[in-house]
Amino acid sequence: MSGKQGERVHAEVRALLPAYCANTLGQVRRSLVAVHLRRCGPCQAEFSRQRTVTDGLASLAAPVDGPPDGLLERLLDQSGTAPRGAGPLRGAISGARPAYSAALLLAGAVTAAGAGYASWASAKHLRRRLKR
């Protein structure tokens, strides 16, 4: 094939190569792509690249059992720090008192509720005026 029709066939085959590599093409399309690949060197090269990418992605998706044994200890040895135990949380800001944090949260909630009510009331008033 040559000309525009040949270019179109190459473009269609190359568009189908990811699905061909993933074995998700229907039987008819898979057969047509296979026949074209036997005859077309540039499409074979693209298929080889696509296959390399597909295989690489498949190897990345392989399940991992978890980190190797002793990894945390080796990392801590390299950094020169010892693991710390968990301490009590004292608030969002270092040294903040929980009661003070709760009061600030409550004040913020009341302010937001008040602003929401004011917005709702003014919209209600505006709707009444527009109906007149």
Task: Name the residue range of residue 107's domain.
Answer: 97-132
pTM, 2 dp: 0.44
Say if residue 9 is in the same domain as residue 56. yes
Residue 89 in domain? no
> Which one, of 26, 21, 17, 25, lies nearest residue 58 by Cα?
21
The model's pLDDT over 16-32, given as tens digits with 9 standing for 90+, comes to 988 888 889 899 999 99
pLDDT tens-digit profile of 49-75?
A: 988 888 888 777 767 677 778 887 888
Residue 79: inside a domain: no
Work out how many domains the chain is built from and give that number: 2
Q: Is residue 14 part of a domain?
A: yes
Nearest to 25 by CA among 47, 2, 57, 56: 47
At residue 123, the pLDDT reads 80
Is the pLDDT at 82 greater than 70? The verdict is no
pLDDT in tens, 29-40: 999 999 999 999
